[in-house]
Structure 1
Amino acid sequence: MGASSSSEQTTVPIEQREAETLAASTGALSTLQKCFSNLADPHSGAIPYDSLQQCFRLSYENPVCEGLAIPVSFPGVLDHVGCCIAELFFVTEKGGVSWIEFVRGYNRCCARKTLSMSVTSLLRVFSVALKKAGLPCNLEFETGDDDCKISGWLMPVDVLMLLWMCWAMSWYSRTREFPREKGKLCLPDVKHIVLSAIESCAEAESGLNVWDCELSGLEVQLPVGKFLTWVLKTVSTLPGCFAEFVYAVLKHSASQEAGLECSTSSAAVTSSTMACSSNLLTPGIAWAVSLTLTGPLSEEISRACFPSDANGINNDLLYRSHLHGRGLNRFWSNVQGYQGPLLVLISATSEDGSANKRNWIVGVLTHQGFENRDLFYGSSGSLYAISPVFHVYPPTGKERNFVYSHLHPTGKVYEVKPKPVGIGFGGTLGNERIYVDEDFSKVTIRHHAADKTYQSGSLFPDQGFLPVEALITEVEIWGLGGRGAKDVQDSYKNREQLFTEQRRKVDLKTFANWEDSPEKMMMDMVSNPNAVRREDR
């Protein structure tokens, strides 16, 4: 087995050594050794196939979703995920899965590979799960390799179930405890992500009305080639949910005592954790944004998707217009001093040509805090069309007009051409792609032709070429800099409060003598303003 001593390395087959080296490059070799020791049968020296299936099994009792209807067949799809992973990636020999095939199976799931190959692995698991659940599958794979050619198409309900399967995997891998009984799964509303896939992959003449449609009744074919392109462009970290899930399962199995059965279900989820929130940043929106990010930023925004406690994410809410009050000054008093990445969410209402009211949400991710400047600044960022259709527009690299935030000048300085007072993103001064006025009552959205900082695309459906002025219903600012950035801001606020209190204090000893008081001097000037006075030197 892989736990052999260094003196025995000369007898290790080349194939085993190569597999172990690849697993070691991911930092998981010791975890795999412990996991294999716990799961392997002492007599055969291999992991029984049934035990491996049980390890990867996703089993939930009556999944619920407040925003969308759950297909009746979806729980059955989840029930077959475990056997699909074992069947597709782990080769069974006589007596079970040997050590070398166990390591190879892990490498097929979690080793570094191209993003397109990762998407293929995910689709292979999903397609086999559909077939085992008795559902139609329109995907065909030329070979059993991750680098094979795929043909066919997906239906909107297939995309919905694929997203929810990835969500269930992510929830499983992020939960600290793995109870043996079936857990309750609360699914997020991902309609905006499904509509994004439909809008990007469906034929132009599909006639989809994104403002008013039901996913369950949509009969639109999404070619798998276009779907792969959409995943790579819009939700590039979605395939990572599968690799994280496999590693989390094996890591949990490695932490169990030898002889104990692996958990057969994922963690129980209380409905209070995923309860509907009045915040704009719902679990579905937070997850969509996290799928476009990597590293610490993705982890921070994921706290809104998978919070450790019900109120933990609220500590990252820096400003909410209904809570802290509207206006640039109220906004500034809550975000000033925060020097970490920020997520800005703006909910607004506009009218179309038929005077129909349309509600939509746009977002901005900045990689630094706000500054009071009369010019654009910033190092990087992204624009988001969030609802009703999700899209991401990263930087183009042509210009660096990422953020503009300007307050009224403190002094009475005359300006021939006063700079706009408000906050903006992209574009140029006076022609920002997104601009929020001083009162936080209106937001102006301009066509991407005026913006060379962020990639082109509509921020809401049917945007058109002319600027759109909409009424703001809510503005939220979320800090993504972690506890460190929040501690620095708290220190800044405490220091500013101390300075303010010191400035308010009056030294009464200075004005104890009436002859030296400013009041007496003013009264003397009023009584006889023409009197000649000599300045004491």
Structure 2
Amino acid sequence: MGASSSTDNPAAAAAHEQESLAAASLPLPLLRAVFSSRSSSLPDTLAFPPATFHSPTSPPPDHFHDLLAALGPAIASLFFSPAASPSSSSDWLSFLKGFNACCARARASLPLAHLLRVYAAACAAAGAPCGVRFQPDEDDGKVVGELAPPEIAALLSMCWAMAWSGSAPTPRGADKGEDPVLLPDVSSLVLSALVSAGAVADDAAVWGWEVSAAAGAGKGVTAQEFTSWVISTVPGLGSCLSRYVQDRFRSCQADPVKGRSVSAGNVTSDASDVYLLTRGRAWAISLSVRNALSEKFLSASVIGMDTEDLLYRSSAHGRGLSRFWSCVEGYKGPALILLSAFGGGENVDADQRWGIGVLTEQGFENKDTFYGSSGFLCATYPIFRMLLPSGTEKNIMYCHLHTQLKTYEAKPKPLGLAFGGSIGNERIFIDEDFSKVTVRHHAVDKTYQHGSLIPNQGYLPVVASILDVEVWGLGGQTTKHQQDVYKKREDIFSGQRRKIDLAAFGNWEDSPEKMMMDMVSDPNRNQREER
């Protein structure tokens, strides 16, 4: 008789199923090496690498470092059996089940529920306040309770630190006297969650709002409201736990001699935040987009964007559509456009700065019609929102400027940049001089999802003064090199067009042009023709 099938051995069938599920996240040899390793226990393997965090705008959340120190033991106690032994197949199965519980793909709400469970357990161990509670007997991961604004800020900061630990692994026993790591500003995300839950009105209350000032306000977000906000606005937050566990497992098998590869870019002076694309905004965008650009923005939130990717900045390159076009022409890759503005009409408070952005997946083209395949609108300050394409229309972007060859137009098309809406009723329109921006209500736009880009926007168009505009290229070095080649070729063609071949011209005194010029200057003068 042949070998017995797996159905005759339920334990083997269960192990095979769990191994197949786990192999989709990490290679099985790596998982077996982690399970069989006797050099450290699972809490030590999952422990957060030693680091000191600080924030240039406000101090880190209370008990933050204690919270990170309790992170590894909390994950190990919730998902992994403490009595794991390499000689026991049942313990190997238990280890796989724990790994799949926090790392395998699941519906959107379950990974977030596991993350909240870990956060609550870490807060209990660190002595930090936590308003959420979880029921260990529930299989659906139901979380109850309420999160206060400082608790949301602590949770978001913890999630960013978990992402940082994977991007900048620290060898065990590293020097703890290194430069502190800068925490990004998460206040716009916290405010977005509060506005979504109705705890803060989306009006004048958002201007000048601070997490520390809202600590004693008594307004929080329930676990259900927080879950709804994460799924709709920052769905990538739920994968922070899975990513952290996988990164810790990889790091314990990596060469301990290798130092931190990218953490040197995160120094005590936050030089990257002099731009509109701060590290906090880059991280918020990375949590919102679900494509290859997410990793690009995650890296930018850790070490800042490479300044070579800055295609255009109005304060450095000059204002106007012509200056803008000279910097972005020939770039055929995804780009992020950010602008900062203030003031507006009667429905927006004067002297209040706000920021919006557009993420496009293709380069700019000089056309008098809308074009594009996909794009995203986002509000970056003071509230973060990401508006995805609706799929109804394809008026993604519009870029039109006069060329050297001008022709008569009975109804000339507007000169400027636009996103969404239609010609004459654009969702966002930046004029030719880059001095004014017009933002219209979402009712005029069928390209992007509904939602306000400015707090208390109202139904009337908002015309505001532009402070600064930035364009970041996201296509990498290959796309930038192609643009450089394109610009060099255009410079050669322009030089050839400006070059005058004097040998091609005859004697000016005998030319018909001189005779015509003389007749125009004195039409009554007699002209004698020599024969």
TM-score (norm 2): 0.88
Q: Is the 8 A contact 2:35 2:92 kept in 1?
A: yes
Cα distance change, pair 488–145 in 1 and its aligned pair in 2 (3 A): farther
1:29 maps to what in 2? 28
1:172-216 CA-to-partner distances (Å, cap 9, x unmatched) read 101155352336331001110100001011347799811022212
1:405 maps to what in 2? 399
CA drift of 1:411 comes to 3.0
CA drift of 1:423 comes to 0.5
278-287 vs 236-245, which moves further: 236-245
Q: Is the 8 A contact 1:67 1:188 kept in 2?
A: no
2:3 maps to what in 1? none
1:160 maps to what in 2? 153
Among 500, 504, 513, which residue is 1:522 paired with? 513
SS in 2 for 1:427: strand
Q: Is the 8 A contact 2:111 2:238 kept in 1?
A: yes
Among 254, 273, 280, which residue is 1:277 paired with? 273
SS in 1 for 2:496: helix
1:365 maps to what in 2? 359
Cα distance change, pair 268–180 in 1 and its aligned pair in 2 (3 A): farther
CA drift of 1:135 comes to 2.4
Cα distance change, pair 217–524 in 1 and its aligned pair in 2 (3 A): closer
Dislocated runs of 4+, deviation >4 Å: 9-12, 59-62, 94-98, 203-208, 266-270, 351-355, 527-533
Q: Does 1:331 align with 2:321?
A: no
Among 40, 61, 77, which residue is 1:71 paired with? 61
Q: Does 1:293 align with 2:293?
A: no
> C-alpha separation between the residues in 1 aligned to 2:365 and 2:473?
15
2:143 maps to what in 1? 150
CA drift of 1:274 comes to 4.2
1:223-274 CA-to-partner distances (Å, cap 9, x unmatched) read 11111000000001012222111111111112247xx9x99xx967742574
210-219 vs 58-67, which moves further: 58-67
Q: Is the 8 A contact 1:448 1:458 kept in 2?
A: yes
Cα distance change, pair 523–230 in 1 and its aligned pair in 2 (3 A): same
Cα distance change, pair 525–504 in 1 and its aligned pair in 2 (3 A): same
> C-alpha separation between the residues in 2 aligned to 1:431 and 1:19?
55
> C-alpha separation between the residues in 1 aligned to 2:125 and 2:169?
30
> C-alpha separation between the residues in 2 aligned to 1:424 and 1:298?
24
SS in 2 for 1:414: coil
1:55-98 CA-to-partner distances (Å, cap 9, x unmatched) read 22225554211123323311111110010011111012265894
Q: Is the 8 A contact 1:340 1:368 kept in 2?
A: yes
Among 483, 497, 511, which residue is 1:489 paired with? 483
Among 91, 95, 99, which residue is 2:92 paired with? 99
Cα distance change, pair 199–163 in 1 and its aligned pair in 2 (3 A): same
Amino acid at match of 2:35: F
SS in 2 for 1:339: coil
CA drift of 1:347 comes to 0.2
2:162 maps to what in 1? 169
Q: Is the 8 A contact 1:36 1:254 kept in 2?
A: no
1:52 maps to what in 2? 42
SS in 1 for 2:470: strand
Amino acid at match of 1:81: L
1:473 maps to what in 2? 467
Q: Over aligned residues, Cα RMSD in angstroms?
A: 3.1
TM-score (norm 1): 0.87
Q: Is the 8 A contact 2:164 2:302 kept in 1?
A: yes
Q: Does 1:322 align with 2:315?
A: yes
- Equivalence map 1:116-155=2 (5 Å): 116-143=109-136, 147-155=140-148
1:494-529 CA-to-partner distances (Å, cap 9, x unmatched) read 111111122222334323x53xx6983322334568
Q: Is the 8 A contact 2:22 2:104 kept in 1?
A: yes
SS in 1 for 2:465: strand
2:240 maps to what in 1? 241
Q: Does 1:432 align with 2:446?
A: no
Amino acid at match of 2:373: S
> C-alpha separation between the residues in 2 aligned to 1:483 and 1:231?
33
SS in 2 for 1:392: strand
Q: Is the 8 A contact 1:32 1:254 kept in 2?
A: no
1:87 maps to what in 2? 77
SS in 1 for 2:373: coil
> What residue ranges of structure 2 are gaps of 5+ in the alignment?
1-5
> C-alpha separation between the residues in 1 aligned to 2:468 and 2:389?
25
SS in 2 for 1:305: helix
Q: Is the 8 A contact 1:344 1:477 kept in 2?
A: yes
SS in 2 for 1:435: strand
CA drift of 1:144 comes to 5.1
How many equivalent residue pairs?
508
Q: Is the 8 A contact 1:372 1:405 kept in 2?
A: yes
Q: Is the 8 A contact 1:344 1:363 kept in 2?
A: yes
Q: Does 1:209 align with 2:200?
A: no
> C-alpha separation between the residues in 2 aligned to 1:240 and 1:94?
25
Cα distance change, pair 206–456 in 1 and its aligned pair in 2 (3 A): closer
1:195 maps to what in 2? 191
1:414 maps to what in 2? 408
CA drift of 1:385 comes to 0.9
Q: Does 1:379 align with 2:378?
A: no
CA drift of 1:427 comes to 1.0
Q: Is the 8 A contact 2:340 2:469 kept in 1?
A: yes
Q: Is the 8 A contact 2:194 2:200 kept in 1?
A: no
Q: Is the 8 A contact 2:206 2:382 kept in 1?
A: yes
1:417-465 CA-to-partner distances (Å, cap 9, x unmatched) read 1110001111111111110000000001111111111111111111111
Amino acid at match of 1:243: S
1:509 maps to what in 2? 503
